[in-house]
Each structure stands twice: as C-alpha cells, then as structure tokens.
Amino acid sequence: MRHILLFRPFFVVFFYLAIVMPFFSSLNIQSGVFIVEAQINKQEITLTNPISLLFENKYHNLSEVYMELENFNNSAPQLIDYGNIGSSYYNKSIPLITLTNEQIPSYSKGKTYIVAHHHAREHCTIEHVLRLIRDLVNGFGTDPQISELFNKYIIYIIVTLNPDSLDIVIYDNEWIRKTAKPIDDDGDGLIDEDGPDDLNEDDRITEYAVRRYDEDFWTYFTEGIDNDGDGKVNEDWIGGVDLNRNYPFHWNDSNADSGATSDKSSFTYPGENPASEKETQALMDFASKHNFTHALSLHSGTNTSVFD
Ligand SMILES: [Ca+2]
Ligand SMILES: [Ca+2]
Ligand SMILES: [Ca+2]
Ligand SMILES: [Ca+2]
Ligand SMILES: [Zn+2]
C-alpha cells in the first residue's frame, strides 16, 4: 500500500502528460485529472447530521429495515447508495447499502463487503449493520480514520440476505434459522403443516431440554402440539434451506466442518443442490462482479471471529 501511495503522484503526472492532455487537447476541452481534483475540493457534502435510527429501541421488522435504509439514503445521498443485489424467494428486495465518498472517483478504491442475516434468528446482525452505517456516516468529516475509509474505500453492506424470514422470526417463531421457502420436511405431502405453537400464550415459543435419568445427553424440544395428527410434534416448520450451507464450496460434504444432511427438517439442511436458492445466487453474482479485497459474514450465537 505504501508503495502505491508513494508512486501514485508520478503515475498521475505521467498519466496526465502522456494520455489525458493529448486526449483533451485533441478534443479542445480544457479539462483533465487535476480539474477533477479541484472540483472535489470545492463541493461541500451536506448531511442531515447526525443521522439517526427511526426505530431505535426495538428489533426491526422488514418494512422498518427498508424505511431505515431509505431514510439513511435521503439523509446522506453523497455518502450512501441504496439498492439491492436481487430478490428473495418471495421477491423481497435483498437490500444493499454502498458507503463511499461519491465525489472521489471509485476506480482506485478498495472494496469490502459485509453481509448480515443469513440465518433468520440471527437478526441482531441487522441491528449491528444499521448502527454501523449510522456511525460511519456520522463519523465522516469529524473522525479522520472514518473519513479516510469513505475517501479510499467502498464498503458494500448487504443488510439482510434472508428478508423472507425476518417477520416470521419476529412475530411467529423466534427459533427459525433457515429461509422461509416452503418445504415438506417430513415427506407427508403437506407443507409447513406442523411448526411450534405458543400454547401458554406468552408470545414466545419456549425451548426446553429433557434428559432421561439413564442418558448422558439432553434432547431439545420446542413448545407445540401435533397439529396434523401424524403422531409427530413440530416436525414440519415454516421453511426452508440453510443459506449458509447452500454455497457450492464443500456443499453437503460430510468431511467439511459444516457437515452433510439430507434431512429437510435439520437446521442445517443445505438444499436440493449447490446454490439452489435465489438468495445464494444473488450473493454469488454480486461477489463475482467485484474484485473484493475483504468480506465479512455476520452471524450471532458465539463471541467469535473466524478468519479464512
Ligand atoms: Ca409436511
Ligand atoms: Ca417445512
Ligand atoms: Ca405432526
Ligand atoms: Ca406432518
Ligand atoms: Zn449464522
């Protein structure tokens, strides 16, 4: 990096003398690289400062997530782009926020992406990136390190890769992990017919563990009844596929840490085929379009950073 910075002025001068000046003089246009730099300095970036969350003290549902991103984008359009990388099984937008100082050309900027919320119940990662966007934007122009991030890098943030699942996990079943795509987990011809039930009406699905006196392991159950009378309880929840097991890399590989299973009711069911899910394909297409130097995939459950 230090090399590049050292030599860049020479390169710019060379570039200007050898290519830009002849090009523009041939067009008889009084412009060039240095004029562009001057324009950057003249323009002011105006922010509704500081930007803040519309829904500060609650977990966001999906429409609230979209409202936050719209509001961010309107508050700092010169630092934020709001788009999507595609759509989910139920055609919900998979939202993409792009952070950079848009007044500085992007051709030399390093690119990083952060993806949140593969797993439904790990939606605190959405809360994390919403606050990350807010704090980065608010730090621009006051915090030198954050300003440098905006000037030299482009940070892409996929706010939820699994938008279909968010309202289900907030309003219905806080334990779901996979996508909301309807799948017949137990092969009885009915789809998603027997998920957990809030029997004591406390607005939660209680999970409990049972251990027999002669066993040394615990078995976990979720609150519910046999909704379809097949003798099994909670055997076919809403959804779905484990998006984080659906990538082609070591897909359904019993030798990989992620393991293998064809059990559709498993929390780690990897789907029918590698990259079978729209959401997986959207992220792969997005990643292949850019030359990313870093990528972060956010999950929750343990306080761990895993580097590859
Ligand atoms: Ca079924
Ligand atoms: Ca199901
Ligand atoms: Ca049942
Ligand atoms: Ca059943
Ligand atoms: Zn996860």
What's residue 2's pLDDT? 35
What's residue 260's pLDDT? 95
Ligand 1 centroid distance, CA of 184 (Å): 4
What's residue 44's pLDDT? 63
Q: Which ligand is nearest to the CA of 233?
A: 3
What's residue 48's pLDDT? 61
Q: Exposed e or buried b for every residue in 5-27, given b needs 16+ CB within 10 A?
A: eeeeeeeeeeeeeeebeeebeee
Segments of the chain scoring below 70 in pLDDT? 1-49, 308
Q: Which ligand is nearest to the CA of 232?
A: 3
Rg over alpha carbons for the chain, rounded to the nearest Å, is 24
In whole angstroms, what is the distance from residue 194 CA to residue 206 CA?
A: 16
Segment 111-131, tens digit of pLDDT: 999 999 999 999 999 999 999
In whole angstroms, what is the distance from residue 237 CA to residue 194 CA?
A: 6
In CATH terms, 62-165+282-297 corresponds, of 3.30.379.10, 1.10.287.3510, 3.40.190.10, 3.40.630.10, to: 3.40.630.10
Ligand 2 centroid distance, CA of 181 (Å): 8
> Three-state secondary structure along 131-165?
HHHHHHHHHCCCCHHHHHHHHHEEEEEECCCCHHH
- The domain locations on the chain are 2-42, 62-165+282-297
What's residue 49's pLDDT? 67
What's residue 1's pLDDT? 36
What's residue 47's pLDDT? 67
Q: Answer whether 0.85 is exceeded by the pTM.
A: no
Ligand 5 centroid distance, CA of 307 (Å): 15
Environment of ion ligand 3 (residues, CB < 5 A):
194, 226, 228, 230, 232
Q: What is the DSSP letter of 121?
A: G
Write the CA distances from 208 to 145, 178, 199, 219, 247, integer angstroms: 47, 20, 14, 8, 32
Segment 42-95, tens digit of pLDDT: 346 666 668 999 999 999 999 999 999 999 999 999 999 999 999 999 999 999
What's residue 57's pLDDT? 92
Ligand 1 centroid distance, CA of 185 (Å): 5
